[in-house]
Amino acid sequence: MRDSSRLVAALVATVTALLLQVTVMPHLAYDGVVADLVLLVVVAAALVTDARFATLLGFGAGLLLDLAPPGDHVAGRWALALMVVGYVVGRLAHDHPSVADRRPALPVMLAAAAGGSFVGSSVFALTGVLLSDPSVPFADQLGVVLTALALDAVVALVVVPLTVWLFTRRSGPPPTQVTPRLPLPARRTVVR
């Protein structure tokens, strides 16, 4: 039941982000670079859910991004990129339990968004280089990646808290989700 509500939240957030990304964001584009809302949704999901779910969500959302109408690149590139983002951010949040509270602090969200944006855009660009899909010079790619990072960091101020709220609100009664995580550090100290 908890999983299903989380799934609905992920689906709603991803599809909404995808639609907004291709309809609204181009009006706010800087130099043609558009804020990556889907990536921010994956980052936010990775912050408040577990790494496994974030990885799967990244894969699914990336696949959707690959197949959605404006996409013309080789399918699977965004899937891989967002999967990596979901895994990395989820893993880091998991390894630092203080971060993975129910509501992460805003600086944490921002840092996660910026890092996720950099990782995602870079992986996407690198797969492009490997597949020689767009065959863009590396310097140009770096410029685009950094611009996207700045844009994502700005837009993350709104999108990530919104998505976090969506996920934490829909995910069942709070205690059942928090308790499994708390014994973990305690037991580890025992183990050592």
Phi/psi of residue 171, each to 5°? -90, 75
Which letter, b or e, does each residue of 139-176 get, where b requires 16 or more Cβ atoms within 10 Å of its Cβ? Answer: eebeebbebbbebbbebbeebbebbbebbbebbeeeee
The only residue of 59, 108, 109, 116 in contact with other proteins, by rule CB under 8 A: 59
Q: Segment near other proteins (CB under 8 A), from 34-42, 60-68, 139-147, 155-163?
A: 60-68
Q: Is 106 in the site for other proteins (CB under 8 A)?
A: no
CA 22 to chain centre: 17
**What is the smallest separation between the CB atom of 98 and other proteins, expressed in angstroms?**
13
Q: Does 49 bind other proteins (CB under 8 A)?
A: yes
27 binds other proteins (CB under 8 A): yes
Residue 36 binds other proteins (CB under 8 A): no
Tokens of 130: 């490997």
Q: Does 181 bind other proteins (CB under 8 A)?
A: yes
| Nearer CB in complex with other proteins: 2/143 | 2
Binding other proteins by CB under 8 A: which of 20, 99, 111, 162?
20
In angstroms, what CA-CA distances link 56 with 45, 135, 162, 182?
A: 11, 29, 20, 24
Distance CA 182, CA 177 (A): 10
Q: How far is the CB of 172 from other proteins (least distance, A)?
A: 15
Structure tokens at 190: 């025992």
Rounded (10°) CA dihedral 100, 102, 108, 111: 80
Which residue is listed with tokens 């990536």?
A: 39
Residue 55 interacts with other proteins (CB under 8 A)?
yes
Q: Which of 17, 33, 45, 64 binds other proteins (CB under 8 A)?
A: 64
Q: List contacts with other proteins (CB under 8 A).
A: 15, 18-20, 22-24, 27, 49-53, 55-56, 59, 63-64, 66-69, 71, 74-77, 79-80, 83, 87, 90-91, 94-95, 127, 131, 133, 180-181, 184, 188, 190-192
